[in-house]
Amino acid sequence: MKRIKQILSNFHIRIIFKALIATLLLSFLYNLVYLFAGFGITDPRLFYAVQVVLSLASSLGFYKICTMVWTPDKEKMSFDVILRVLILQGGWILLISAVIASLAALASSNMVASVFVQLISVVVLIGLIPFQLVYYYSLFLGKKSGKEIFGYIKTVFAAHYRSILNVYCALLLVVMAIDTFSGGPFSLAQGFYVPQILQNVLYVGNPMFSWMYVLFLSTSFGVSLSSMFVIIFFLFLIGFLYAYLDLNLVAYIQKECINVRTRKPKTHR
């Protein structure tokens, strides 16, 4: 019973409410541009460029949403913060789209190499979002130099890497299970191909994508929305649940980071 109460104590609604509304609105705008570009652009290179720009822009929105969870005050984004957020997102884009995707393509005909790429991808998948959130929190605290930022990240993970990764992996498994059932972008129905999952995290990882995708297809092909109402409403509820869980993860990261800051150092006798 105590364990259940402890788990439930990590779920909030009041402190994340504004961020939740912002998440829904920004996801809607992102998906609208993404889907129109996806259906309207025939050149794959141009569409990839649009994906990259949208991913970079979404990282700024994600950081802003995180700060809305971490403080009730309006947090101004300085040029240094914007630059560092974009640098990190650009690094993820290079790692996933250039390195891992290329390795996956080269290793597709070799079983051993393919397994190796899968293992690398799993490590990246598990560490990507937790690292990003702690990185964002270090920027939120005003840390500027690379030494300060990565030193802080190292300190947080040294103290709480198990709890952070456990919570994140549990959330990831929930999302994959629901998406497998509902046909979302993280569905495992066609196998656990991690490089593609990473691509989805990078470009269509916002919580409302499945809902917007089905809605967009329905309107594009002239399908009556009344006949699709149950499915669309169901996917909207799933997206809302994802947003709620994601923002509670953001709040949990702050809790763990505060624990690091307030932890008393051990005295040696």
Tell me the pLDDT tens digit for each residue of 191-226: 888 999 999 999 988 888 988 888 888 777 777 767
pLDDT at 72 over 90: no
Residue 14 confidence class, pLDDT cut points 50, 70, 90: confident
Tell me, what amino acid is at 97?
S
Contact criterion met (CB below 8 Å) for 259 and 160: yes
Tell me the pLDDT tens digit for each residue of 90-129: 999 999 999 999 999 998 888 888 999 999 999 999 999 9
- 99 vs 144, more confident: 99
Q: What is the pLDDT of residue 263?
A: 53
pTM exceeding 0.95:
no
CA separation for the pair 102, 228 (Å, rounded) = 38
Tell me the pLDDT tens digit for each residue of 157-195: 998 889 999 999 999 999 999 998 888 888 888 788 899
Q: What is the pLDDT of residue 249?
A: 94
Handedness of CA 139, 141, 142, 144 (dihedral sign): negative
Q: What is the pLDDT of residue 261?
A: 60
CA separation for the pair 255, 269 (Å, rounded) = 30
Per-residue burial over 214-224, b if 16 or more Cβ lie within 10 Å, else e, is bbbebeeeeee
pLDDT at 5 over 60: no
Tell me the pLDDT tens digit for each residue of 244-258: 999 999 999 999 998
Q: What is the pLDDT of residue 265?
A: 46
Averaging pLDDT over each range in 84-88, 145-149, 169-173, 262-266, which range is the top one? 84-88
Mention every residue, 6+ apart, whose C-beta is less than 8 A from residue 81: 63, 139
Q: What is the pLDDT of residue 268?
A: 39
Tell me the pLDDT tens digit for each residue of 19-62: 999 999 999 999 999 999 988 888 999 999 999 999 999 999 99
Most distant CA atoms of the chain, gap in Å:
76
